[in-house]
Homo-oligomer: A and B are copies of this chain.
Amino acid sequence: MSTEARYDRMLRDAALRVTRPRRAVLAAVHAHPHADAETVMTAVRRDVGAVSHQAVYDVLRALTDAGLVRRIQPPGSPARYESRVGDNHHHLVCRSCGAIADVDCAVGEAPCLTAAEHHGFEIDEAEVVYRGLCPRCAAAPVS
């Protein structure tokens, strides 16, 4: 099955209509892990030509709602999208360049940590963001 057919299948299985922008956004998110909306937009336009920014936002939301895409919001960054869903993995974020890497969740499902004090909250997720310097920024002298 071609990747295009695969994305079409994913869309249909999620009860979503199959449209060119949707195919293109799904492909872009798969091709560019942790891309922001602007990056997705650029990739989509390179792939299928003119697509409105509104359509890209709409499609990203529809795919996120359908569980085909995960939306993360690392501090200091615009929202980012990734195709790796359902395993509650965490992220490493570089303080300097913003690079993001995945970190497997030791538990594999949310919530994976227990708050010392839950203040009466019904906790259903624990998201961990590890911050530091990526190999490249750690090797470069601070300037």
Contact = CB atoms under 8 A, between A and B. Distances in A.
Interface string A112-136: 0101111111111111111111110
A90 interface: yes
Contact of A123 (B76, B104, B132): B132
Nearest to A106: B116
Report copies per complex.
2
B104 A121 contact: no
Contacts of A123: 92, 130-132
Contact of A127 (B103, B118, B128): B128
A114 to B, nearest CB: 9
A10 to B, nearest CB: 25
Interface string A69-89: 000110110000000000000
B103 A120 contact: no
Contact of A133 (B106, B121, B132): B121
A92 B115 contact: yes
Given A103-B119, A121-B132, 9 more contacts: A103-B116, A103-B117, A104-B117, A121-B130, A121-B133, A122-B132, A122-B138, A124-B132, A128-B128
8 contacts: A104-B116, A119-B135, A121-B134, A121-B135, A124-B132, A124-B133, A127-B128, A129-B129
